[in-house]
Structure 1
Amino acid sequence: MASHDHPHDHDHDHDHPHDHAPRWKHNGVRVIKGDQLDPNTAQTPGMFRQAAINHARVGAQKIWAGTVAIEPNAKTGVHHHGALESVIYVVSGKARMRWGDKLEFVAEAGPGDFIFVPPYVPHQEINADPDQPLQCVLVRSDNEAVVVNITDVEPVEKPETVYWVDPIHKHPE
């Protein structure tokens, strides 16, 4: 009797839905609970960041996502992120972004607002509130940390002793 006459014979070439269950169970959709973010990233005084989605945690190949909490008045130096695209979602607080060749442009964002930073745009990130921390969700278009500090542009708002530093904004030396 040929194998196709037995519906439960498994020596044929087509896939059954249950054949993929183990692969999808562990390599499919992942939910990262808010209380299970990874604080095992480089930390800097004045801020707290946690990774949610990265290569190490979930095998992400093309994005990094996490949270960042920035102390009042914290500011980065002038920099860009090479070919990376960045999205910042403001959860609470007030973010100010300055950008341009001389940081001549400025915009502010509050809770519920998204900020898009295109590749190679010189910019400075600022917690615009002197009293409240800035809570954000950050998504980058790659797992690789790219930051290019621009030292020949004088920041309009000088960085202070507390810096906005996340996995790709390194603390100034």
Structure 2
Amino acid sequence: MTRLMMAAACLVALCACAVTDDRLRSRFEATLAADESATAALKQWCTRQDIATPALITVDHLPTDGATASADIRRMLEVDAEEPLGYRHVALVCGSTTLSVAHNWYVPGRLTADMNDVLQTTNTPFGRAVADLDFTRERLESVEGPTADCPADTILTHRAILRRRDARPISTVIECYTPANLRTAGP
């Protein structure tokens, strides 16, 4: 009887963990959905989950390996084959915790010179660098787990297009969210 009671207690504990994980994932996804900027949403999440103090989102630049924009990316950004594009492959970090890995193609000609300078020379996230454009986010896809562009441990993948107020696209992004987002706050 004791083994049966222990097994039942373990099952209850496992179910409670699964429910907690589902609730935490739902809160995380709701935080992402509530903001046009993934950077702003991750800052809110970093604060809420007590990941780092202060909750400042920065980027670590990752290798770009000579990436070239596909015809599909150019179509989404509404540019021809001659239009110069910028590319950033970055990890979005809060404190020392990587919350997301992102692939970001953008149209420098639709940004200000200052924005382009910030993107090329600093560890400022794209969303913060172009915030003055008051952009909107068109969510194209949300996938639980990784896609081909993401690390194997990705818990959630988003694809989106960011648009200026005049509806012209400025960026297309693939965001690969890490398991660190689902760690509970506190000890």
Question: Which category describes the TM-score, using the shorter chain as reference length?
Answer: under 0.3
TM-score relative to the length of structure 1: 0.25
Decide which structure has the larger Cα Rg and report it.
1
Give the structure, 1 or 2, with the largest relative contact order (CA under 8 Å, sep 6 or more). Answer: 1
Could you say which structure has the higher helix fraction? 2
TM-score relative to the length of structure 2: 0.24
